[in-house]
Structure 1
Amino acid sequence: MEQMKIAAEKIVPIDFEAEELPREIRELRPVVFREETSYWCLLGPDPHRGVFGNGESPAEALEDWLINLRKRLKQSDENDELVNYIKDSLDASNRDVW
C-alpha cells in the first residue's frame, strides 16, 4: 500500500503495543505527525485518498482517525483498494488471535 512521504522529524512516536489502543489502531498503525499547530493521523497515500484524522493532540488525531476509518469501512465498495487492504489486515490479525 502506498503511504504518504512525511519528514521524519514531524512523526510522533506511538506505542502501538499499548493495550488501551483500539484494535484498528494497533493493527493498522497509522502515522501520526505534527503539522504546524495540530496533529494529523494518516493511513494511505494522502489525506484525500487515505483515512485521515486530526486534532490538537496525538490522542485526538487518533480518535478522529478511528471515527473516519469506521465511516469509510461502512461506506466503501469492493473497488476501494485501501478499504480492501484494511479489511484484509484486520481479518489476518483476527485469525492470529485464534
Structure 2
Amino acid sequence: MSFMEQMNVSDEQKISFDFSRFRLPQYVGEFRPLLYKHGDRFCTVLGPDPQSGIFGCGDTPEDALINWNDELRENLRHPDLKNPVMQFVLDTINTKAKDVW
C-alpha cells in the first residue's frame, strides 16, 4: 500500500470519533478520514487538503462522514488516476480485494 499525505489541522479543530461505535458506510470505516470542525460545520478529508483530497461536510460528524463517503463513491466512478489520493484509494481497495482471494 502506498503512503498518502494527510491534511494537518490544529488539535482544537480535530474531532475525536469512535469509528467502531457507529454503523457507518464501508469506505468511512476502511479509510477513517480526518474529521474536524470548521466554523459551525463538521468536515472530513482524506488527503493533503480539501481541493486535492476527498472532502465531505455536514451539520453533524455523521453527516460529514456520510457526505464524504458519497464523494468517494462518486470519485470512484471516474477516478482521476493522476491524483495521488485517488491512486492511494484504488491501491488500498485493490490490495484488500486481493486479500480476500
Which of 40, 45, 48 in structure 1 is aligned with 2:43? 40
Aligned residue pairs: how many? 98
Letter in 1 for 2:42: Y
How far apart in 2 are the matches of 1:7 and 1:86?
Answer: 25
Cα deviations by residue, 1:67-98 (Å, 9 ceiling, x for unpaired): 11111111213322211100111233344456
For structure 1, the 5+ residue unaligned runs are none
Shift in alpha-carbon separation, 1:87–1:18, aligned structure 2, 3 A: farther
Superposition RMSD on alpha carbons, in Å?
A: 1.8
Aligned to 1:69: 72
Percentage of identical aligned residues = 34
TM-score, normalized by length of structure 1?
A: 0.87
Q: TM-score with structure 2 length normalisation?
A: 0.84
More helix by share: 1
Q: Which runs of 4+ in 1 moved over 3 A?
A: 93-98
Extract unaligned runs of 5+ from structure 2: none
Q: Identify the structure with bigger relative contact order (alpha carbons < 8 Å, sequence gap 6+).
A: 2
Distance 1:88-1:35 versus aligned 2 partners, 3 A rule: same
